C-alpha cells in the first residue's frame, strides 16, 4: 500500500511537470489526478512563485479551505532548525519526565525520531528556540 502511494505520487509529479512545462493558464488536472489520489482527501496546487501564477490544480475547493498544517509543518521546522544550526544529526532532545500524551513521546529523541513519531514537544521546543520573528523570515 505504501509503495503504491509513492509510485502514484511520483506519476502525479511527472504529469504535473508536463502540464507545468506546457501550460500558460491554470489547468484543472482532476481527471488525470483522481486515480492517483484515490482513497485520500487532499488537494494539490502547482504554483509558479516567479510569475505569481497558478499552473495546475486538483480539488481546488479543498485547497481553499483553511486548515492547520499539523505534522506537515515539522518538515519546514526541521529545515529551519538545521539551517539556523539549532540542531544537527547528533542532537538529543532531553525528555523532562513529564507525561506528554503518547507513550512513544515519553523519552529522549533525536531529529530522526522526532520526525518518525511526530513528537509534538520537540516541535514546540524547536519553535521556541528559533523564535517567531525568524520563523516569519523563513516563511
Question: Mapping DSSP to helix (H, G, I), strand (E, B) and coil, where does residue 27 land?
Answer: strand
Number of domains making up the chain: 2
User: pLDDT category, 109, cuts 50, 70, 90?
Assistant: very high
Residues 74 and 128 in one domain: yes
Where is the domain boundary, 63, 91, 109? 63
Residues 82 and 132 in one domain: yes
What is the pairing mode between strands 53-58 and 44-48?
antiparallel
What is the pairing mode between strands 44-48 and 27-28?
unpaired
Residues 54 and 94 in one domain: no
Residues 11 and 45 in one domain: yes
- Catalytic residue (one of 71, 78, 107, 123): 71
Question: Mapping DSSP to helix (H, G, I), strand (E, B) and coil, where does residue 90 land?
Answer: coil
Q: 123 vs 1, 4, 24, 136, CA distance in Å? A: 29, 30, 40, 16
pLDDT in tens, 9-58: 666 666 666 555 555 555 566 666 667 777 777 777 777 778 888 877 77
Q: Measure the CA–CA gap between 25 and 102, rounded to whole angstroms.
A: 46
Residues 85 and 57 in one domain: no
Q: Is the pLDDT of residue 70 over 90?
A: no
- The grid cell for 110 is 533525536
Q: Is the pLDDT of residue 7 over 70?
A: no
pLDDT in tens, 98-108: 999 899 999 99
Residues 75 and 132 in one domain: yes
Specify the DSSP class assigned to residue 37. Answer: G
Where is the domain boundary, 63, 88, 108? 63
Residues 36 and 94 in one domain: no
Residues 44 and 79 in one domain: no
Domain of 115?
70-138
Taking the chain, what is the end-to-end CA distance rounded to the nearest angstrom? Answer: 33
**Residues 6 or more apart in contact with residue 98 via CB below 8 angstroms:** none
Q: Is the pLDDT of residue 77 over 90?
A: yes
**What is residue 12's predicted lDDT score, i.e. its pLDDT?**
61
Residues 125 and 89 in one domain: yes
Residues 12 and 56 in one domain: yes
Active site residue 71: yes
How large is the C-alpha radius of gyration of the chain? 19
**68 in Cβ contact with 87 (< 8 Å):** no
Q: Is the pLDDT of residue 1 over 60?
A: no
Where is the domain boundary, 45, 63, 81? 63
Amino acid at each position: 500500500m505504501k509503495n503504491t502511494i509513492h509510485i502514484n505520487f511520483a506519476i502525479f509529479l511527472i504529469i504535473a511537470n508536463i502540464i507545468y512545462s506546457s501550460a500558460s493558464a491554470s489547468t484543472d488536472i482532476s481527471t488525470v489526478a483522481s486515480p492517483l489520489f484515490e482513497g485520500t482527501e487532499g488537494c494539490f496546487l502547482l504554483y509558479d512563485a516567479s510569475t505569481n501564477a497558478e499552473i495546475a490544480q486538483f480539488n481546488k475547493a479543498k485547497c481553499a479551505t483553511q486548515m492547520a498544517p499539523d505534522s506537515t509543518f515539522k518538515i519546514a521546522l526541521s529545515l529551519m532548525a538545521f539551517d539556523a544550526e539549532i540542531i544537527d544529526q547528533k542532537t538529543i532532545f532531553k525528555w523532562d519526565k513529564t507525561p506528554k500524551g503518547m507513550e512513544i513521546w515519553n523519552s529522549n529523541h533525536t531529529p530522526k525520531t522526532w520526525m518518525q513519531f511526530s513528537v509534538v514537544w520537540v516541535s514546540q521546543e524547536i519553535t521556541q528556540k528559533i523564535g517567531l520573528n525568524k520563523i516569519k523570515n523563513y516563511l
